[in-house]
Amino acid sequence: MHRKALAALLIAPLVATGCATWFDQGRQAQRASVVDYLYPKGEPPALAPSVPELQLPLRVGIAFVPGERYADLPEAERERLLRRVKEAFASRPYIAAIEAIPTTYLRARGGFDNLEQTGRMFNVDVVTLLSYDQVQFSDSNRLSIFYWTIVGGYFVNGSQYDVNTLVDASVFDLKSRQLLFRAPGSSQLKGSSPLVRFGEASREARSEGYRQAIDNLIPQLDAQLEGFKVRVKEDKVARVVHKPGYSGGGAIDLAGLGLLGALATLATVRKRRAG
């Protein structure tokens, strides 16, 4: 009886700890809003109607907007993600260069004045701003906690997590301050980890959530770019001119879309007449 009583006294704190953990829930969020950055005073100011003028080849900047510092996306991870986007679009002939802009050059709630100043510093015409919203929920698995109290958390899955990530790309013409187009990318991860490794595993899940969201964003951004080219031609949403010395980028040159379409139609008519 003495041994049983002693065992009960030793196990009781573990069981109590386990029971407390059954209902333990956590939520961690990271957020950076393009609206908060560009419009710190609230509503966007009324802009006079204008048609952006895009001078090819474009110099493009890409940057993450400043986020909430208490739970921010690390700068090293930002740089890796920016490189992914840069590599996906760097070969376009109508793009002269893509500059990855460190977030340290952007001031929290800095507005267009700060963005234009940074644009001049990096000598870019257009800037793609990446905003993000990531939420991680974590809770404990009842069965694993039972084994944790008896055996030890290292041997079993002790916690589960869900990581939901949204990354949004907004492309702005600096001179006119006009939004040209935007595209979203998202990811959702579910997983679990031994309790003693939960912190490390959940941090890696958050990083992987951003990587997957960027991978999802890239084709969406490419599709929006193609759609913007069509709107330039059909709806005249922007005026395209060539910088001195630039002769055009062939079939995917923004300015050449209308001309190529006309030539293709003319060639078809000639073939029909010849037949």
pLDDT tens per residue across span 205-234: 889 999 999 999 999 999 999 999 999 999
Phi, psi of 85 (to 5 degrees): -70, -45
Model confidence at 159, pLDDT cuts 50, 70, 90, reads low
Other C-beta atoms lying within 10 Å of the C-beta of residue 74: 11
pTM of the model: 0.76
Contact at 8 Å (CB) between 179 and 127? no
Contact at 8 Å (CB) between 161 and 145? no
> Does residue 168 have a pLDDT over 60?
yes
Q: What is the pLDDT of residue 5?
A: 47
Closest by CA to 159, choosing from 194, 130, 134, 132, is 194
Which tens digits make up the pLDDT trace of 90-105?
999 999 999 999 999 9
> Does residue 270 have a pLDDT over 70?
no
Q: Which residues contact 170 (CB under 8 A, 6 or more apart)?
A: 34, 128, 129, 131, 179, 182
Phi, psi of 198 (to 5 degrees): -65, -40
**Segment holding 184, helix H or strand E:** strand 178-194
> Does residue 6 have a pLDDT over 50?
no
Which tens digits make up the pLDDT trace of 63-92?
999 986 645 688 889 999 999 999 999 999
> Does residue 29 have a pLDDT over 90?
no
Domains of the chain: 2-274 (3.30.160.150)
Q: What is the pLDDT of residue 111?
A: 95
Q: What is the pLDDT of residue 44?
A: 72
Strands 239-242 and 53-56 turn out to be: parallel
